């Protein structure tokens, strides 16, 4: 598309990356019943800011559903992770309710991680003419960045395109998985190659171009620790790349209609905010609803049938707007209000 007709935008949120970030960033927040609410509050604030400031045409939040194909490939995958804290686990149902109230779909696929869902939808959306913004604090998603796919890193408050990935990570997006394969990941228990850390991994991939080229020429590497590590652990390096690579061909359809950003369910949001005792958010929601009501045009009473037909015909010749008809009894008069609701949700 040309600049005069910009590509519509799809915002894809990495759910648990942002939920955990909210949980650890805000501590000691609970309601009067003693129920922890810190993660819900932080996550909702992130959503509100994104919707208010960025105004995405499409939006979805990807969530994990437990074990995936990576656990089948490598039994130790994520084996050393501690369980989700109980005071965070108890907040997940509220977070799901918040997504429902905001009319944002939760995107999940059994056997795959949220990253794979994000990667697949990003891949398919760009092919259909959309720009995609991934919203996450996970560096692994840098491998998905492309000309029409950006990463907004919530931990650094920075937008990454291909140039920013190469500047910060040392390699272009398509080489990120090669670097991750060498350096491994202690959080996900991806083994990598012993003796090769992040700095060494970036240097090797920059010099040799890819993991396979590096393994093919491992015997030429001057540094003994790197050479021996690669010769001895070549298959482990390949496995690590499989575990680190985000899949972009999962069984997840790209449905623009399902991802369309519609106004939230204000009543459901108000009930949730009241239950959680987010009184400031409830007050802001009420104020926004009042502003929208005041912005609606006043109804006009039309009692003459000829005038009614003339006004109606003129209205339908114009672009945009909505029509609201109130039938006052079984006979005329009829009230006609032409116009549309106010713009943005809270």
pLDDT of residue 325: 59
For residues 210 and 150, membership in a common domain is answered with: no
Q: What pTM did the predictor assign?
A: 0.82
Whether 148 maps to a domain, the answer reads yes
Looking at residue 322, its pLDDT comes to 58
Instruction: Identify the pLDDT of residue 320.
Output: 52
Judge contact between 285 and 346, C-beta under 8 A.
yes
Indicate if 207 and 162 belong to the same structural domain: no
286 falls within a domain: no
Q: Within 10 A of 3 (CB to CB), how many other CB atoms are there?
A: 5
Same domain, 147 and 24: yes
Question: Where residue 157 falls among pLDDT bands split at 50, 70, 90?
Answer: very high
Instruction: Classify residue 188: in a domain, yes or no.
Output: no
Dump pLDDT digits (tens) for 225-274.
Answer: 999 999 999 999 999 999 999 999 999 999 999 999 999 999 999 999 99
Q: What is the per-residue pLDDT across 292-340, written as a single tens digit (0 to 9) for each? A: 554 556 566 677 777 777 777 776 666 555 555 555 555 554 444 444 4
Same domain, 258 and 341: no
* Mean pLDDT computed over 1-24: 86
Task: In whole angstroms, give the CA distance from residue 3 to residue 322.
Answer: 29
Same domain for 116 and 31, yes or no, is yes
**Residue pLDDT, tens place only, 100-152:** 999 999 999 999 999 999 999 999 999 999 999 999 999 999 999 999 999 99
The per-residue pLDDT for 346 is 47
Q: What is the pLDDT of residue 341?
A: 45
pLDDT at residue 3, rounded to an integer: 46
Q: Do residues 165 and 114 both lie within one domain?
A: yes
Predicted confidence at residue 144, as pLDDT, reads 99
Give tens-digit pLDDT for 180-209: 999 999 999 999 999 999 999 999 999 999
Residue pair 175/205 in contact by the 8 Å Cβ criterion = yes
Higher pLDDT, 332 or 24: 24
- 130: which residues sit within 8 A by CB, 6+ positions away? 7, 8, 9, 10, 58, 148, 256
Tell whether the model's pLDDT for residue 73 goes beyond 70.
yes
Q: Do both 128 and 200 map to the same domain?
A: no
Domain match, 217 and 88 both:
no
Task: Compute the average pLDDT of residues 25-45.
Answer: 97
Same domain? For 250 and 302 the reply is no
pLDDT band at 342 (very low <50, low <70, confident <90, very high): very low
C-beta contacts of 16-21 below 8 A and 24+ residues apart: 16/63, 16/64, 16/114, 17/136, 17/137, 17/138, 17/154, 18/43, 18/46, 18/135, 18/136, 18/137, 18/154, 19/43, 19/88, 19/92, 19/95, 20/88, 21/137, 21/154, 21/155
Same domain? For 115 and 73 the reply is yes
Domain with 208 in it: 179-183+193-244
CATH number of 152's domain: 3.40.50.1010
As for how many domains the chain has, the answer is 3
Residue 85 lies in a domain: yes
The answer to whether position 276 is within a domain reads: no
Whether residues 85 and 155 share a domain: the answer is yes
Per-residue pLDDT, 345: 46
């Amino acid at each position: 598309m040309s600049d005069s007709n910009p590509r519509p935008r799809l915002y894809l949120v990495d759910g648990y990356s942002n939920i955990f970030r909210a949980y650890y960033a805000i501590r000691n927040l609970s309601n009067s019943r003693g129920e922890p609410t810190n993660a819900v509050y932080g996550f909702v604030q992130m959503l509100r800011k994104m919707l208010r400031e960025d105004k995405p045409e499409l939006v979805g939040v990807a969530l994990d559903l437990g074990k995936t194909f990576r656990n089948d490939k490598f039994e130790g995958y994520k084996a050393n992770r501690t369980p989700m804290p109980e005071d965070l686990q108890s907040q997940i149902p509220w977070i799901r309710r918040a997504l429902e109230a905001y009319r944002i779909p939760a995107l999940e696929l059994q056997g795959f991680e949220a990253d794979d869902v994000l990667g697949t939808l990003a891949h398919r959306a760009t092919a259909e003419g959309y720009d995609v913004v991934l919203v996450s604090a996970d560096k692994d998603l840098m491998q998905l960045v492309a000309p029409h796919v950006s990463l907004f890193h919530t931990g650094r408050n920075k937008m990454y395109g291909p140039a920013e990935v190469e500047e910060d990570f040392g390699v272009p997006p398509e080489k990120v998985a090669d670097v991750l394969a060498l350096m491994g990941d202690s959080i996900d228990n991806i083994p990598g190659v012993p003796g090769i850390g992040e700095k060494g991994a970036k240097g090797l991939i920059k010099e040799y171009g890819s993991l396979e080229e590096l393994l093919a020429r491992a015997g030429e590497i001057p540094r003994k620790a790197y050479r021996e590590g690669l010769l001895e652990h070549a298959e482990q390096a390949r496995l690590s790349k499989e575990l680190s690579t985000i899949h972009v061909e999962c069984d997840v359809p790209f449905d623009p209609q399902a991802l369309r950003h519609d106004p939230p369910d204000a009543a459901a949001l108000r009930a949730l905010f009241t239950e959680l005792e987010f009184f400031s958010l409830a007050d802001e929601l009420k104020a926004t609803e009042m502003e929208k009501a005041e912005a609606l045009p006043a109804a006009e009473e039309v009692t003459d049938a000829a005038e009614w037909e003339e006004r109606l015909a003129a209205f339908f010749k114009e672009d945009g707007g909505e029509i609201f008809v109130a039938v006052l009894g079984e006979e005329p008069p009829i009230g006609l209000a032409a116009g549309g609701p106010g713009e943005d949700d809270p």
